[in-house]
Structure 1
Amino acid sequence: MAESENPNAPAKTATVKKATSKPASATTKPAGADAAAPKAVAKAPPPKGKADQIKSKVKSDMNDFKAQATDSVRAAAVKGKDRATEAVGSISKLIRDSAGTIDDNVGKQYGDYARTAADMVEGFASRMDAKDVDALAEDARQFVRKSPAVAIGAAAAIGFVLARLVRSGDNDA
């Protein structure tokens, strides 16, 4: 009797096959994860009244932004108009001041031409100063409509002059 030889020895037990654990995959979830896992659910649109409030707030904000931008552009245009008027007035003064020199060097008739040109430039400056920015913009629109070729040519000439000024400024540095 082998079993009775050692009464304190543990009895042989049948071997139990251990369950093999599979590696966790993307489809397996840990226990208890079903309740805590976020589900891909489309958000419900806000209630009708709230959506209207949001739309009206966005429209109001856009109108405020548009008003601020318009005010900024108008202020810049007024400042530019004032500078241009001042520059044209300075050109008129320069022509008038040089009329005396022209009288002495070339003749009185050519000095009178310079004075007439100075008067015309001064008149242009005063007309430009008298108009507001909207009237000047409308005058420019009308001019472009009446003679688009001249407007395109003038724009090209101004662009050329500005490009030359910028290039000469780069060379000076």
Structure 2
Amino acid sequence: MADEQDRDTLQHSNPADASPPPADAAFTPAAPLKDAGVDFSPEERATGGGTLADAKQTVRDHVSKGREQAADKARGLAEDGKAKATDALAQLSQLLTDAAGQVDDKLGAQYGQYARSAADRVQGFSSAIDQKSVDDLIADARELVRKSPEVAVGIAAGVGFVVARLLGSAIDQRDA
């Protein structure tokens, strides 16, 4: 019913409703808002609400504070990630050590020794990560990228592939 009323209103409008004002009509701009509801101190009223330099400094202070907060949050997340990574590597090392005995039985002592060697290397890598600070790890990563960017791209592609596979399997298990 409202559509019919709108249609009737549009049909009954005349061209004069949409025509511009005459050329000799006086234009009066709207009055500006006074202070827009902001309560300035007497000093601010006298100086016009502060200077542009004050405003810029305030913005810089807020940006600096935001950067510090973001850096602190990122550092905390990186520390948590480092702890989780070292725990995961320690578990992988233990898994490889446990599997070495089974490999000895099924394939021979030589292959079992390979599994133990891999477990020792993973454990050493886990210890090295655990002993370094997040800043040291970031510096090492930057140095690796500078020295051999192709290796860094390869590592990133490999990690991306593993993460994609893990996420894909997690989604498949959730949907099942």
- What's the TM-score, normalizing by structure 1? 0.70
Question: Alpha carbons of 1:98 and 1:57: their partners in 2 closer, same or farther (altered >3 Å)?
Answer: same
Question: Alpha carbons of 1:94 and 1:37: their partners in 2 closer, same or farther (altered >3 Å)?
Answer: closer
Quote the Cα distance in structure 2 between the aligned partners of 1:121 and 1:153.
20
Quote the Cα distance in structure 2 between the aligned partners of 1:114 and 1:159.
25
Equivalent position amino acid for 2:124 in 1: G
- What's the TM-score, normalizing by structure 2? 0.69
* Structure 1 residue 121 displacement after superposition: 0.8
2:69 is aligned with 1:76: no
CA RMSD of aligned residues (A): 2.7
* Structure 1 residue 47 displacement after superposition: 5.4
2:95 is aligned with 1:94: yes
* Structure 1 residue 95 displacement after superposition: 0.6
CA deviation digits over 1:2-38, x for unaligned, max 9?
xxxxxxxxxxxxxxxxxxxxxx869258xxxx8x962
Runs of 4+ in 1 over 4 A off after TM superposition: 46-49
Residue of structure 1 in register with 2:14 after alignment: none
2:165 is aligned with 1:164: yes
Quote the Cα distance in structure 2 between the aligned partners of 1:127 and 1:166.
28
Quote the Cα distance in structure 2 between the aligned partners of 1:59 and 1:89.
45
Quote the Cα distance in structure 1 between the aligned partners of 2:133 and 2:51.
44
Quote the Cα distance in structure 1 between the aligned partners of 2:63 and 2:84.
31
Q: Which has the higher helix share?
A: 2
Tell me the matched-pair count: 140
Higher-Rg member (1/2): 1
Residue of structure 1 in register with 2:137 after alignment: 136
Of all paired residues, the percent bearing the same amino acid is: 43
Quote the Cα distance in structure 2 between the aligned partners of 1:78 and 1:56.
33
